[in-house]
Amino acid sequence: MEKKIPLIAPSLLAANFLEIGKDVEMINDSHADWLHLDVMDGRFVPNISFGLPVISAVTKISKK
C-alpha cells in the first residue's frame, strides 16, 4: 500500500491584509504545496473575503 503524503495549503485569509505581499512571499519561500484562497459569494456565506482585484494581484506574485 502506497503511503500518501498530505499537501500543505495555507489560507490567505490568515494573512495580515496590510502586508499581504510579504505574506504571499513567505508562502512562496515555504514548503507549502498550494496557496488556499477562500472565495465567498455573499449568497451562501457572507462575503467577508477578498474580491477579484486582490486575487488577481496575488496570482501575479504567487508561485504556488
Residue 40 vs residue 21, higher pLDDT:
21
Distances (CA, A) of 24 to 33, 48, 52: 13, 19, 16
Mean per-residue pLDDT for 27-55?
86
Domain-wise residue ranges, the chain: 12-61
Residue 48 vs residue 19, higher pLDDT:
19
Cα Dmax for the chain: 46
Band of pLDDT at residue 6, cut at 50, 70 and 90: very high
What gap in Å lies between CA 22 and CA 46, rounded to an integer? 27
Q: Is the pLDDT of residue 47 over 80?
A: no
3-class secondary structure, 32: coil
pLDDT digits (tens, 9 = 90+) for 8-32: 999 998 999 899 999 999 999 999 9
